[in-house]
Amino acid sequence: MTKNILVTGASRGIGEQTALALAHALPSDENNEVINYGFQPAKPIITYLKHGERALQVASVIQRSRTDLDLNPLVFQMDITNPNSVVGLSRKLAPDYLNLDGAVFNVAGGLEGEGNDAVFSEDINHYGQVTLLGALGSVLKDEAVITFVQSHWGHLAGEVPPPPFEGYGTYVAEPKQRGEKALRERVERLADRGILFKVVTGGIVEDTPVGRRGIRNFPEWTARQRGIGNVIKAKEMGLAIARTVMSRESDPVVWVGADEATFRALSKELEGE
């Protein structure tokens, strides 16, 4: 039976690549190598905030790529910082999708044009995520998998220095760590339903706005990250997220880019310089 997976913020970037990966609709690379997905195709349920046309384009790509399967994605607008919008999404899902098999908590922000706003950063990276989990309680299937999209710096905030991007530690890494912790605690309360919480944490995603800005403004720092394999693409991150949300057997924390030990070692070097 085809699984239904919610992906927030799926109109572009990592969320878009996650939705495409779930449907086995990722574009081939330059070598035309067949992608080993490792799971059966799933039906993505896509949310967006501002980029509605882009979200519909993602859905269209999936429809055209998978004419052999009934994977027509649903597309909904949702503002995760607005509790009414979040609850509204759960009500829209209820009539047709009483049983979500999983959800990817991807949407995040703090530096991408919103300005350094502590309230907004906390709402989008922390409180809004908790509100969404609560709203989805009635539509999540028992044994569903909740997957939180994180960065290495957010996952280890307070233990490693943040990237040199102005405001990243305060407005992204720290609130995302609080969001991760809060979600983990709340999912643990759902243990009697068999619902699992997993984290996919990545390095610098070079084809996202924040990643491009960091690479452009901090070439030496980026070179050090690249040297340990910690500069990645959204497609790589999206595929890892899709594999994680589709498997109860995957690791509770999946590292994309540098592994934890290598990342910690470089962070310690950079802190001492």
Tokens standing for residue 206: 């070079």
The total of other beta-carbon atoms located within 10 Å of residue 121's CB is 24
19 in helix, strand or coil? helix
Nearest-angstrom CA–CA distance, 235 and 162? 24
pLDDT at residue 176 tops 70: yes
Interval 11-27 mean pLDDT: 95
Select from 19, 24, 97, 21 the least CA-distant residue to 51.
19
Domain ranges, residue 85: 4-272
The total of other beta-carbon atoms located within 10 Å of residue 251's CB is 11
Alpha helices (H) along 73-168: 83-93, 118-122, 128-136, 152-155, 168
In which region does residue 194 sit, left (phi positive, over 0), alpha (psi from -120 to 50) or beta (all else)? Answer: left
User: pLDDT tens, 119-161?
Assistant: 999 999 999 999 999 999 889 999 999 999 999 999 999 999 9
Task: Please give the mean pLDDT across all residues of the chain.
Answer: 92
Tokens standing for residue 77: 């607008």
The values of phi and psi at residue 250, to 5°, are -70, 160
Give the contacts of 254 (CB within 8 A, at least 6 positions apart). 198, 199, 200, 201, 240, 244
Share of the chain above pLDDT 70, in %: 95
Global pTM reads 0.95
- pLDDT level of residue 208 (50, 70, 90 thresholds): very high
DSSP-assigned letter for residue 77: E
DSSP-assigned letter for residue 158: T
pLDDT at residue 96 tops 70: no
* CATH, residue 125: 3.40.50.720
**How many domains are there within the chain?**
1
pLDDT at 166: 83
